[in-house]
Structure 1
Amino acid sequence: MPRFLYSSPRRWGDLDAQGHVNNAVYLDHLQDARVAFLHAGAPGLADMLRTGVLVVSHQVEYLAPVGYGPTPLVVQTWIDALGASRFTVGYEIFDGETLAARARTTLVPFDLEVGRVRRLNDVERAAFQAYLDPAEPLRPLPKVGVGEGAARYPLTVRWSDLDAFGHVNNVKFYDYVQEARVAIMTATLDWSAGVVWSLVRQDLDHLAPLDFRCEPYEVATSVVALGTRSFTLAAEIRDPASGTVYARARTVAVGPRPLDEAERRALGRFALPDATGVPAA
């Protein structure tokens, strides 16, 4: 089956403190490729961006760091799964010949006028069928809650975070989870001597639209597991007053050396009671 190819320009402002394209920015490249695919890669699908389409979940597997350069990244896009009222877009991001990331996004068509999910119509289904090419699935990450001992990070939504539908854009959720994660890592890990902790996987499930407001939301984050040189976090984006959960995420980070005992104990302060690999208090 054919794949839709999208050349995604790199931006200097996309680089993080380590000089690489930030992990959350990968979602911008995926979104731009997906929108271009709906506009040009499959005739009859562009109306979906006007009538409504919701992102249900993302899976991103980071395989190689990406730096700045004059040549664009190439995003190969296809339909990985097709159901009655949902579809999954598959991606591979290439930096030259290097496969930098693999990802999946599950979406549902949504009728904005009546406010509910709808089924794919015949035109949409035929267009997607032409690009249907199921690939090897990404290894699932267990879905767990954050627990009572989670670290809580205040989240302020910016007006510029909203998309064309008037809600926080799906890409911004990765920024929110990142801000909370960096706060925990700064408080618990030794960043000296050039130690860089890299993400290898990050999944996120969207549960409800997130709207702009002046009062802060929060990101609650817990440690799910500690390995020799890795750790897994669970996060929830939620309303601290009502308890409404808008998204849940799982993140796996790996370091260039084993976690030392001080770091393990510090991360353990935010661990779930049944977290694996966490030292006894």
Structure 2
Amino acid sequence: MSSSAEIVHELPMRWADLDSLKHVNNVVYVDYATEVRSLLVEDGLLDDRGVSSMSVRYARPMLLSRHPVVVTSLIDGDKLTQQICSDRDGERTVYCKLVTTLGTPIPQDRSAVETDPLPSRIRRSDIDASGAVSLIKTFELFQEGRVLFISNHLGGLKAGQFVVGTVGVDFHSPIAWRREPYESRSWVSRVGAGSLTIESELSDGDALLARGTTFLVGFDLAAQKSRAFSAEERAVFDGLKSAR
């Protein structure tokens, strides 16, 4: 199913959507997009298929507002492209772009990467109507794993020194609720002058459940702009890359 016309929805913002920096939490953008995708299915504009992957590109922080969140959607076959925006006085500002690929997830083995696994525990509230962890909560699990990985290895970093530029998640197998935790693995795969890439996997033994890729950018909180890494930071990141 395809549509060349832009479809626009408006959603209310909530206080609970904000993070500690008073920006809309990264996972909440996925919530906005998923809510609108459900509306598109309900209106018969989109097939009710599974999701095989989703990428999220953050353009700028979104602050709390009484104005509605504007979500635009373009449907092109199995691709759904959405933008999270504000629209005030006829001027549209884009905060986030999401591309969802519809289809059946393909089972795959986890990577043979030597890194210490962390437990990833599932809550009953993570489960959706299908009986598996929802797409939104899967992004949240990756965010939790990434925060733990950074705090374990990069404890000297302060809040606001980095921002998430892009997150991508590939889904490979449903994640069911159980008492025993799954395994979360993260490692640094690339270090640039002012950015780095963290790869993450959620797995059950050798079976890969989902894979995430996060592109982090150095950030100057006072100036509200990107920054280059210091020599000390690069040395730490390079050490993590080689120690994986």
TM-score tier, shorter chain, comes to 0.7 to 0.9
Range moving further from structure 2, 219-228 or 179-188: 179-188
- Deviations 1:153-209 (Å, cap 9, x if unpaired)? 2100110111111111011111111111112222315434x6431111111100011
* Equivalent in the alignment of 2:14: 11
Inter-partner Cα distance in structure 2 for 1:199 and 1:151:
23
1:66 paired with 2:29, answer no
Q: What amino acid maps onto 2:210 in structure 1?
A: A
- Deviations 1:188-236 (Å, cap 9, x if unpaired)? 15434x6431111111100011100000002101101111221101111
* Equivalent in the alignment of 2:223: none
Structure 1: unaligned runs, 5 residues or longer: 111-144, 276-281
Inter-partner Cα distance in structure 2 for 1:188 and 1:149:
18
* Equivalent in the alignment of 2:84: 93
TM-score (norm 2): 0.84
Structure 2: unaligned runs, 5 residues or longer: 220-226
Q: What amino acid maps onto 2:186 in structure 1?
A: T
* Equivalent in the alignment of 2:100: 105
* Equivalent in the alignment of 2:218: 255
Inter-partner Cα distance in structure 1 for 2:32 and 2:57:
14
Inter-partner Cα distance in structure 2 for 1:153 and 1:25:
24
* Equivalent in the alignment of 1:29: 32
Q: What amino acid maps onto 1:78 in structure 2?
A: L
Inter-partner Cα distance in structure 2 for 1:106 and 1:199:
21
* Equivalent in the alignment of 2:52: 56
Identify if the C-alpha distance between structure 1 residues 258 and 146 changes in structure 2 by more than 3 Å, giving closer, same or farther: farther
1:267 paired with 2:237, answer yes
Inter-partner Cα distance in structure 2 for 1:189 and 1:227:
20
Query: Is 1:147–1:222's contact at 8 Å kept on the other side of the alignment?
Result: no
1:179 paired with 2:144, answer yes
Structure 1 or 2: more strand by fraction: 2
> 1:3 deviation in Å?
1.8
- Deviations 1:122-169 (Å, cap 9, x if unpaired)? xxxxxxxxxxxxxxxxxxxxxxx7553324221001101111111110
Identify if the C-alpha distance between structure 1 residues 79 and 272 changes in structure 2 by more than 3 Å, giving closer, same or farther: farther
Query: Is 1:8–1:72's contact at 8 Å kept on the other side of the alignment?
Result: yes
Q: What amino acid maps onto 1:267 in structure 2?
A: F
Inter-partner Cα distance in structure 1 for 2:150 and 2:29:
21
Q: What amino acid maps onto 2:57 in structure 1?
A: E
Task: Select the residue among 166, 169, 174 that pairs with 1:201.
Answer: 166
Structure having the higher Rg: 1
> 1:272 deviation in Å?
5.4
RMSD: 2.4
SS of residue paired to 2:26: coil
Inter-partner Cα distance in structure 2 for 1:41 and 1:77:
14
TM-score (norm 1): 0.74
Question: Aligned runs of 1:232-243 on 2, under 5 Å?
Answer: 232-239=197-204, 242-243=205-206
* Equivalent in the alignment of 2:134: 169
SS of residue paired to 1:3: strand
Identity %: 29
* Equivalent in the alignment of 1:132: none
